[in-house]
Amino acid sequence: MGKGFFNVPVAINEPVKSYAPGSPEREAVLAAYKDMWNTKIDVPLYINGKDVTTGSTKTMSAPHDHQHVVGTYHLAEKSHIEEAIATALEARKTWSQLPWEQRAGIFLKAAELIAGPYRAKINAATMIAQSKTVHQAEIDAACELIDFLRFNVQFMTDIYHEQPESTSGAWNRLEYRPLEGFTYAVTPFNFTAIAGNLPACMAMMGNVVVWKPSDSQIFSAKIIMDVFREAGVPDGVINVVFGDPVMITDTVMDSPDFSGLHFTGSTFIFKELWKKIGHNIHNYKTYPRIVGETGGKDFIIAHKTANPIQVATAITRGAFEFQGQKCSAASRAYVPSNLWNTVKERVIADVKSFKMGSPEDLNNFITAVIHEGSFDKLASYIDGAKNDSDAEIIVGGNYDKSKGYFIEPTVIVTSNPKYTTMCTELFGPVITIYVYDEDKYSETLKLVDDTSEYALTGAVLATDRYAIQEATKTLQNCAGNFYINDKPTGAVVGQQPFGGARASGTNDKAGSALNLLRWVSPRMIKETFVTPTDYRYPFLG
């Protein structure tokens, strides 16, 4: 067979389409939306490349219109999970041996399918399933997923290029083996791109996968599977299962062949999964890799020299896009007293100008939150703020779940820097602001550092360079992604690798080679050319 040191296409970020009135992409996405809205789909499990229906189903509906059913999905039983594991292990025999360029070809093709024929579909599915505006769907389901696939191919080859020195007498080679066994991807509702990337990047490195998407994202996960199939992911390499997360996870983690967890979701669940792995540690054939990107309580701190209009915009964009359901969304802000009146006026005016409703109406900036559980939780914190003497709602504060799970973007101002909504992840369109004495910047930075258990994203706004330096230093361990004079959201694959530490995760930086390294187990091969024939070293005389 012909060989070569192949170069892969230079990865570039997928340009974000505008969806401006009159643009062809706007027409295409609205047509796809209408079509999907009016057709009920039935989503099977995918095991060994086959559609598996189980007879036990649940319905799927859109968060912005919860009575409108868009389809059903099938629930796995324990035997299906066992079958998915067995089938993955069987597929591993050939998949792990396939030359890397064949794997690269599959995932590069997947990227192009999403960029082209599947773009409108995957965006429309994300608008329906997760209630994203078309812009939020485009930057997630289309662009970020395309970027993950393209850049990871490049990072994979960068990793393979990392080789040790060799001397004249020996040749040293590092072989990047897939993990022995099978891996498990557990993905959140909020990013179609994360849902696609977690199983795909492990498979790209030669691993086989059992993937459990979030119940609230299955409608768009189906399009991902359609793309993977059309791109040529072989049977058994990525198996998709839905159903009781505890049963699925227990079955996966009871297997001695379980070799890695790639998780994104909430902190509590990740810690529970880690505990299960620890509990089973004596049963595994290899130490499982554990990667988890979890919750956040992301901050904005403004210095007294910041531009107040920029601060206000960082707050409104950073806190409310996609209803604050980005793990990176700003949810606590510290504003100096000298800027407060201007910031307050602007934030209130901005929030009042937001239109809220279905994502099908492209004038809407805000749509619904993901499900009733989230709605009820947010409503209870808003009610709390209405009653608490140390909190005041300056804009928003209403909610209505009669048709969809709509929560008005809400700004709470508190006189208590440790007020509950300054510390707890709410994961919705609610931000809490603490106005600090403009001369107490250093003390406030320390407050930012010790207020929350999380360390995902954060931003400082200032024109004074000493103030920027002080924040950069004091907040060193407070955010895995730190922004200067920007909002704390919007990380781009290949530009700002993403992830946090402390309770926010293992910080393995999705969208970088650092993450892919977790899915290989290097084998060092030393080949000696003239093999010794006498055990005696010269010093022995």
Q: Which residues bind ligand NAD (CB under 6 A)?
A: 186-191, 194, 212-215, 245-246, 249, 264-266, 269, 272-273, 293-296, 327, 425, 427, 456, 498, 500, 504-505
Q: Which amino acid is at 376?
A: D
- Which of 28, 423 has the CB closer to ligand NAD? 423
Angle, alpha carbons 224-23-117 (nearest 5°): 25
- Which of 196, 295 has the CB closer to ligand NAD? 295
Distance, in Å, from the CA atom of 303 to the CA atom of 400, rounded to the nearest integer, reads: 36
Cα 245 → chain centroid: 18
- Which of 85, 362 has the CB closer to ligand NAD? 85
CB of 454 to ligand NAD, least distance (A): 8
Burial of residue 202 (CB within 10 Å: 0-12, 13-18, 19+) is: buried
Q: Is 293 a catalytic residue?
A: yes
Q: Is 478 a catalytic residue?
A: no
- Which of 90, 250 has the CB closer to ligand NAD? 250
Half-sphere exposure of 467 (CA within 13 A, CB side): 21
What pairs with residue 525 in β-bridges? 173
Tell me the angle at which helices 119-130 and 192-204 cross, rounded to the nearest 10 degrees: 120
What sign results for the dihedral spanned by CA atoms 380, 386, 387, 390?
positive
Query: Residue 85: which region, alpha, beta or left (left: phi > 0; alpha: psi -120 to 50)?
Result: alpha
Which of 143, 201, 327, 478 is the catalytic position?
Answer: 327
Which residue has tokens 């796809």?
Answer: 32
- Which of 73, 498 has the CB closer to ligand NAD? 498
Cite the DSSP H helix spans in 183-244.
192-204, 218-231
- Which of 273, 467 has the CB closer to ligand NAD? 273
CB of 438 to ligand NAD, least distance (A): 31
Which of 138, 144, 293, 408 is the catalytic position?
Answer: 293
Q: Which amino acid is at 84?
A: A
- Which of 417, 500 has the CB closer to ligand NAD? 500
Please identify the residue of the shown chain whose CB is closest to the bound ligand NAD.
265
Distance, in Å, from the CA atom of 490 to the CA atom of 493, rounded to the nearest integer, reads: 10
CB of 326 to ligand NAD, least distance (A): 7
What sign results for the dihedral spanned by CA atoms 407, 455, 308, 386?
positive
3-state SS track over 391-407: EEEEECCCEECCCCCEE
CB of 191 to ligand NAD, least distance (A): 6
Burial of residue 138 (CB within 10 Å: 0-12, 13-18, 19+) is: buried
**The tokens of 47 are what?**
């095991």
CB of 189 to ligand NAD, least distance (A): 4
CB of 232 to ligand NAD, least distance (A): 26
- Catalytic positions, please? 293, 327
